[in-house]
Every structure is written in structure tokens, then in C-alpha cells.
Amino acid sequence: MTTLLFSHPASLGHDTGPGHPESQARLGAISDALAADAFRDLKREVSPQAGLEPILRVHPPGYTAAIEDVIPEKGIIYLDADTPVSHGSWEAILHSVGGGVAAVDAVMHGHADNAFVVTRPPGHHASQTNAMGFCLFNNAAIAARHAQAAHGAERIAIVDFDVHHGNGTQAIFWADPSVLYCSTHEMPLFPGSGAASETGTHGTIVNAPLAHGADGFVFREAIESVVLPRLIAFAPDLVIISAGFDAHWRDPLAGLNFTEADFAWVTTQLMEVAAHCCDGRIVSLLEGGYDLVGLGRSTAAHVAALMGKC
């Protein structure tokens, strides 16, 4: 099993300011966790800088230009109450998008079985024309459109287990029968979307909301009864994971009670589906996770599973 890890130091240049949960320290926690001996054989690549072409497949030129133009020369500007940008944010964005694009290229060309992209800012709350919830561009959506445009993939599945619903990803693919979006998330919780009744124009939106306090048993039941059957029936050419680890019991921004073992388990389940449907092709993209201890441990469990060590 060959797993590629994509990262870039530009992600540290996206400065969100003191006390913001989506901080540079998140990457330090992940780096420390993946420095363990168990990951000695993990192949690591530098996330390249993306051009505008993959971004414009999802976000219109006016929105893309507006984000670039608002980047300050110094200090921090808030686009909403939660979403800041700093001088280094644009370069971080381009390398975050570029990591997803490069990961798709690697798995579609067979250079790796799967890949994990450890960059920031995250993306699943970003719609085509709105930044919100720490997110500026939708990395998962861009990766999906790149797989279709550059590699001829006909069906893409995006599975999102972040504790917050990926409202941006859902909105982007609401009326697109070629992309299946499946999400487990706490509800009610920010951003307020993600009811089971939200199914999209073609029934390709699959939401499995979880109540506050739900643990790994409830999560596993939802994955097995709701997500996996739809994923298998859809038979994707590529599986993209929006890998948020803020459903961990230690996380301060939500109230689910997952453990590292739950993240390893769901990863292996998705790998089994991918092995059956699309020669194991998986691209995983970092989303949330704001307790540094929980994030490090959960990410290590996720990557170990991707490497076939679970």
C-alpha cells in the first residue's frame, strides 16, 4: 500500500491571529504525530502551487479575484466573524489547492494508492461565491472537478466526516448527478444545514446527522447503514475524503465523542469500498480538528489506516 503525504510550509503563512482555533499549531501537532517510527516509510511530497485553472472550475473569476484582492499587506482582515486572511493567505491557498490537485494526479496515474493532503486553510464550508467557517476555497470540490476535467473520471464520491456539515460542498454539487456527497456531522451545530431530508436534485446528497453526545458506536452505525450502501451503489471512480477530526471527544468546538479508533475504522471502510469500485483510489484532504492532542492522534490513526497498518 503506497500512501503519499502532501504538505507545504506556505500553510504556516496563513495567520489567523491569537486564539483562533484554526491556527498554524494544528500543522505542528500533525507533523509531530507523523514523525513517529510507524510513519518512517510514509512517502512525502511538497504540495505544488496551483494555477487559477483548477480553482475556476469551481469558483467564478469575480469571487476568485475578490479573495486575492482582499489579502492585506500586513495584519489580519476578517471576511466574516470566523474567517480571517493575512498576507500569507493567498500563497497558502494556492498550495492547499495544489496539494489536492497533485494528490488526484498521483492516484489517478497510479503513482500511489491513496494520498493525504495536510494543508490549510480548510475548504468544505466555502461555496462557489462565499467564504465562511474558516474556509476560502473548496479544496474537495476543486479536486473533484480536476479529476473529471483532467482524468476523465465520470463519478466522484466525497465523504465528509468533519463534525460540521460541509454546506459549501453540498451547495456546489446539489444539482450534479456525477458527484455523490455524503456527510456525517453533529446537528444542530454550525452551519445549520445537513438534515437527512436534504438530498439534492438527483438524490446524490446523503446526510446522516448525529445528535450532540453521539459516540463512535452511533457513528459506525450511520456509516454502515446510510453512507456505505449509497457509496457502493454509486460506484465512484475516485473517493475524496473531507477529513475533519473535530468529532473527537477532546475537541472544543463540538460535542461528539469519537476516538482515534473510530477515524481509523471509517478510513478502512472507505478503503474497502474504493478497492472494490476504483482500484483503491482515495484522496484525503484535511478539514477541521482543533484540539491539538486529539488532532495529532486522530490524524496518525487515519494515515496508519491509509498505509494499511490498521
Q: What is the DSSP string of 141-167?
A: HHHHHHHHHHH----EEEEE--SS--H
Residue 166 has a pLDDT of 98
158 neighbors 138 (Cβ within 8 angstroms) = no
The CA-based dihedral angle spanning residues 202, 107, 27, 138, taken in that order and rounded to the nearest 10 degrees? -30
Domain count across the chain: 1
209 neighbors 196 (Cβ within 8 angstroms) = yes
Residue 39 has a pLDDT of 98
Residue 1 has a pLDDT of 73
Catalytic residue among 8, 59, 124, 125: 125
Q: Which residue has the cell 495529532?
A: 296
- Picking from 181, 168, 185, 183, the residue whose alpha carbon sits closest to that of residue 251 is 185
CA separation for the pair 98, 143 (Å, rounded): 9
DSSP 8-state assignment for residue 258? B
Q: Which residue has the cell 499549531?
A: 25
CA separation for the pair 193, 62 (Å, rounded): 26
Residue 39 CB neighbour total at 10 angstroms: 17
Residue 181 has a pLDDT of 99
Residue 179 has a pLDDT of 99
**60 backbone dihedrals φ, ψ, rounded to 5°:** -65, 160
pLDDT tens string, the chain, 310 residues long: the values are 799 999 999 999 999 999 999 999 999 999 999 999 999 999 999 999 999 999 999 999 999 999 999 999 999 999 999 999 999 999 999 999 999 999 999 999 999 999 999 999 999 999 999 999 999 999 999 999 999 999 999 999 999 999 999 999 999 999 999 999 999 999 999 999 999 999 999 999 999 999 999 999 999 999 999 999 999 999 999 999 999 999 999 999 999 999 999 999 999 999 999 999 999 999 999 999 999 999 999 999 999 999 999 8
Full-model pTM: 0.98
User: What sign has the CA pseudo-torsion 105, 230, 190, 256?
Assistant: negative
- Picking from 206, 294, 181, the residue whose alpha carbon sits closest to that of residue 244 is 294
| Cell numbers for 309 | 497498518
First to last CA, the chain: 12
Say if strands 76-78 and 84-86 run parallel, antiparallel, or are unpaired.
Answer: antiparallel
Q: What is the span of the domain harbouring residue 9?
A: 3-306
| 125 has catalytic annotation | yes
Residue 310 has a pLDDT of 84
CA separation for the pair 182, 171 (Å, rounded): 13
CA separation for the pair 256, 237 (Å, rounded): 31
